[in-house]
Amino acid sequence: MKKFTMMRATLCIWILSAVVCVGRGHHHEGHDQDTTLDSSADSVSLVTSANKEFAYRMYKKLAAHAESQGKNIFFSPASLSIALAALSVGARGETHRQLFSGLGFNSSLLTQTVVDQSFRTLLQRANKTSQDISEGTAVFVDNHFKPQPEFLDVLKQSYFADGFEVDFTKSTDSADTINKYVEEKTNGKIDKLVESLDPSTVMYLVSYIYYKGKWATPFDPKLTKKGMFTVDESTKVPIQMMNMERQFDTYYDQAINTSVLHLPFSNSYSMLLLLPDDMATLENDICPSHVTKWLKGKVSRTYDVYIPKFSIKTSYSLKDILIEMGMTDMFSKRADLSGISEERELHVSEVVHKAALDVDEAGATVAAATGIEFKFLSWTIYPVLKFNRPFMVLITEHTTENILFMGKIINPNI
Do 162 and 6 contact (CB within 8 A), yes or no? Answer: yes
Find the DSSP H helices in 223-344: 279-285, 288-297, 319-324
Planar angle of CA 263, 123, 175, nearest 5 degrees: 100
Q: What is the model's pLDDT at position 344?
A: 60
Give the separation between CA 100 and CA 104, rounded to whole angstroms.
6
Helix, strand and coil percent figures for the chain, each rounded to 5? 30, 35, 35
Picking from 81, 73, 84, the residue whose alpha carbon sits closest to that of residue 55 is: 81
Domains present along the chain, CATH in parentheses = 2-212+313-357 (3.30.497.10), 214-309+363-409 (2.30.39.10)
pLDDT tens, residue order, the chain (414 aa)? 555 432 222 222 233 433 333 332 333 333 444 434 444 678 999 999 999 999 999 999 999 986 777 899 999 898 899 999 999 999 999 999 999 999 999 767 899 999 999 999 999 988 776 667 777 788 888 888 888 999 999 999 999 999 999 998 898 998 888 888 878 777 777 778 788 788 888 888 888 777 888 899 999 999 999 999 999 989 999 999 999 999 999 999 999 999 999 999 888 888 899 989 999 999 999 999 999 999 999 999 999 999 999 888 888 889 999 999 999 999 888 889 899 987 667 888 888 888 878 888 887 654 221 111 111 223 344 688 889 999 999 989 888 888 989 999 999 988
The Cα-based distances of 331 to 254, 319, 327, 346 in angstroms read: 42, 8, 8, 9
Radius of gyration of the chain (CA): 22
φ, ψ dihedrals at 262, nearest 5°: -100, 120
Planar angle of CA 337, 339, 343, nearest 5 degrees: 80
Give the separation between CA 174 and CA 169, rounded to whole angstroms.
8
Q: Which residues, 6 or more positions from 75, have their beta carbon under 8 angstroms from its beta carbon?
A: 14, 58, 59, 62, 314, 316, 353, 355, 405, 406, 407
Give the separation between CA 103 and CA 57, rounded to whole angstroms.
10
Do 397 and 78 contact (CB within 8 A), yes or no? Answer: no
Q: What is the model's pLDDT at position 115?
A: 96
The Cα-based distances of 232 to 73, 202, 348 in angstroms read: 16, 46, 39
Q: Which residues, 6 or more positions from 325, have their beta carbon under 8 angstroms from its beta carbon?
A: 57, 58, 61, 102
Is residue 85 helix, strand or coil?
helix
Query: pTM for this structure?
Result: 0.85
For the stretch 206-232, pLDDT in tens is 887 778 888 999 999 999 999 999 999
Give the separation between CA 96 and CA 349, rounded to whole angstroms.
16
φ, ψ dihedrals at 149, nearest 5°: -55, -35
For the stretch 159-179, pLDDT in tens is 999 999 999 889 899 888 888
